[in-house]
Structure 1
Amino acid sequence: MPLSEPVPREHIHTRKVTCTGYRRADGLWDIEGHITDVKTYGFENHDRGEIPPGVPIHQMWLRITLGTDMVITAVEAVTDHAPFNACGEIAPNYEKLVGLKIGPGLKSQIRDRVGGIYGCTHLTELMGPVATTAFQTIFPIRAREAAEKQRQQEKDGDAPPRKRRSPLVNTCHGWRSDGAAVQRIAPDSYSEIPKN
């Protein structure tokens, strides 16, 4: 269901964020993010001169490589368009994210390594959807492969007891521990949520 009909308005700015997940032939995973900001009007920029309508004021790329353990093993960042000539100079600093694990506390760890003057606001913001895309790319494949392995072990008669826990429990309303999804998908995690 789309949003309701808006009042009459003028289109001024568009930000696009695209993230794509890839499984590599070497067993690692690449997650790529791309961010652009464009305006519907031209304007003068001190470092770049006239920026026509539709030409990006920001255009950045970010690729992280990680293992199935969700630990970042490589990072590449590129700035194609930015408002200042110096913006692209900080892109190599994103290699400092190597060793971080996609999971709880990631945002603060990213800020510690590439926050403020040690990074680019847009590349740092892009790490949020890139991290989510990593999760969306890797976990379903891991779950499918684990289920296939479990089925094969059951078929062979040497299956360990099945535990159906999920790291997603209580991360959002749909995955609440007392909800129908958890009861169906991860029954070992199903429980009442304490009242506050």
Structure 2
Amino acid sequence: MHTRKVEYRGFERDDGLWDIEGELQDTKPHAFVIEGEGEWAPHEPIHHMHIRVTLDNTMVIRDIAVAMDAHPHAPCPQAMPPMQGQIGETLGRGWRKTIERHLGGIQGCTHLRELLFNLATAAFQTRSASFAPTADGRPPMHLGQCKAWAFDGPVVEKVYPMFFRWQPPERPQARHGEVEPQRAG
């Protein structure tokens, strides 16, 4: 009754930046009508949206481009300009919260948010060959984030032996009556 195709592509640019592109397309195998909005032929895109995010080596968004080749409602394109609020943000921990802060609710578009959520994974896959320990000696950010990359697992032991059984430094505990500072992200 419905097909959604989502595709991500990642590119390393000549200028040292990275482009990550996401594309979403919704179709139905039968004619489809939204009263007062329009009708679509079988397999004609109801949604066809594109995002290109340009990142630097620290995963900071340097540019973002959005296109809506097909959308079902006249106000849909109004969700594109707020996407520029993501410029300067970092793809990493807290990414979904960052998206919701800038584009949540009626500020943005459900479909563009969905593309952005998983665009981060495509960015990490695109840049996987460049993941090295950070300058301060901390492990790459993907370690400790899934079963395969567990600090005490065989993959980390083989690929990143220097971080096998690594433990993050302990955060200072708040004293009785003090409020612990909130972490960003």
TM-score by length of 2: 0.82
| CA distance in 2 between partners of 1:48 and 1:16 (Å) | 23
CA positional deviation for 1:63: 0.7
| CA distance in 2 between partners of 1:190 and 1:55 (Å) | 51
Query: Which residue matches 2:142?
Result: 168
| CA distance in 1 between partners of 2:140 and 2:11 (Å) | 23
Q: Helix, strand or coil: the match of 1:55?
A: coil
| CA distance in 2 between partners of 1:78 and 1:190 (Å) | 44
Query: Which residue matches 1:43?
Result: 32
Are the counterparts in 2 of residues 58 and 82 from structure 1 also a CA contact under 8 Å?
yes
Paired amino acid for 1:76: A
| Partner deviation per Cα, 1:146-168 (whole Å, 9 max, x = no partner) | 7xxxxxxxxxxxxxxxx794322
Q: Helix, strand or coil: the match of 2:80?
A: helix
Query: Which residue matches 2:16?
Result: 27
TM-score by length of 1: 0.77
Selected match of 1:132 from 99, 103, 121: 121
More displaced 10-residue stretch of structure 1: 55-64 or 184-193: 184-193
Is 1:84–2:60 an aligned residue pair?
no
> Relative to total residues, which structure has the larger helix share, 1 or 2?
1
**How many aligned residue pairs are there?**
164
Paired amino acid for 1:85: A
| CA distance in 2 between partners of 1:122 and 1:183 (Å) | 39
Are the counterparts in 2 of residues 65 and 75 from structure 1 also a CA contact under 8 Å?
yes
| Partner deviation per Cα, 1:122-165 (whole Å, 9 max, x = no partner) | 0011002211111111231x24xx7xxxxxxxxxxxxxxxx794
| CA distance in 2 between partners of 1:164 and 1:90 (Å) | 38
Q: CA 1:47–1:78 in structure 2 vs 1: closer, same or farther (change >3 Å)?
A: farther
Unaligned runs of 5+ in 2: 168-185
Unaligned runs of 5+ in 1: 1-11, 147-162
| Partner deviation per Cα, 1:152-196 (whole Å, 9 max, x = no partner) | xxxxxxxxxxx7943222211111122110111111221289xxx
| CA distance in 1 between partners of 2:69 and 2:140 (Å) | 39
Query: Greater CA radius of gyration, 1 or 2?
Result: 1
